[in-house]
């Protein structure tokens, strides 16, 4: 998602000031994507340049700032965005996957320890997200949608990390066999550490 489409969506109903857009954007996303006011006005300037928004008619707020309204071109752009599926190619690169790939390529890195530390961190995040879900209001559907997405993503990341650790364990066994036959044992996999609470234990709490 781009900030510009988020602002266009918020302008769909009525003209708004920049500070209104900032507050409504953060409220709609549960503050999972915090914006500073500079980002908002920079984006509005670009949207105005591209013909997607324009200053609304009427007086400003007294500080020289104007309300913005969406144009017909902006409505068409917003409709196109809503109608276009998000593809994997347009999503940000997965920093964690790249980090693990590089850890395997760099000599002396304890990759298993990297995986286990990440699992612990992700598990803590999942517990916090679960706590937030329990405390959320039933009518706050926008926040719940974002929250559920984050919970599913955290659960998927934990499953993927479990898979990574299993792959590393198989690699250690293979390397150990090669070492027994006279080869050189791979030291990059490191030694297992305590993994903490399992995903199944967390699921039982939920």
> Where along the chain do its domains lie?
3-90, 95-205
Highest mean pLDDT among 97-106, 132-141, 191-200: 97-106
What class does CATH assign to 3-90? mainly alpha
Selected residue with higher pLDDT from 139 and 140 = 140
Does the pTM of the predicted model rise above 0.85?
A: no
Highest mean pLDDT among 25-29, 87-91, 126-130, 191-195: 126-130
CA dihedral over 83, 87, 89, 94, signed as positive or negative: positive
Indicate the DSSP class of residue 16: B
The Cβ-side half-sphere exposure at 166, using a 13 Å CA radius, reads: 6
Residue 187 has pLDDT above 70, yes or no: no
């Amino acid at each position: 998602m781009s900030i510009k489409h988020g602002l266009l969506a918020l302008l769909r109903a009525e003209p708004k000031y920049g500070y209104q857009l900032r507050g409504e954007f953060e409220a709609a996303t549960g503050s999972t994507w915090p914006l500073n006011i500079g980002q908002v006005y920079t984006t509005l300037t670009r949207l105005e340049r591209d013909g997607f928004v324009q200053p609304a008619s009427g007086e400003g707020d007294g500080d020289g700032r104007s309300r913005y309204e969406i144009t017909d071109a902006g409505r068409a752009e917003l409709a196109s965005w809503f109608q276009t599926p998000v593809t994997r190619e347009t999503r940000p690169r997965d920093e964690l996957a790249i980090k693990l790939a590089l850890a395997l390529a760099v000599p002396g890195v304890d990759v298993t320890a990297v995986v286990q530390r990440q699992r612990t961190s992700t598990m803590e995040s999942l517990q916090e997200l679960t706590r937030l879900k329990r405390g959320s209001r039933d009518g706050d559907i926008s926040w719940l949608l974002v929250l559920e997405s984050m919970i599913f993503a955290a659960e998927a990341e934990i499953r993927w990390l479990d898979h990574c650790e299993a792959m590393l364990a198989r690699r250690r066994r293979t390397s150990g066999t090669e070492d027994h036959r006279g080869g050189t044992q791979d030291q990059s996999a490191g030694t297992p550490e305590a993994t903490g609470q399992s995903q199944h234990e967390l699921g039982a709490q939920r």
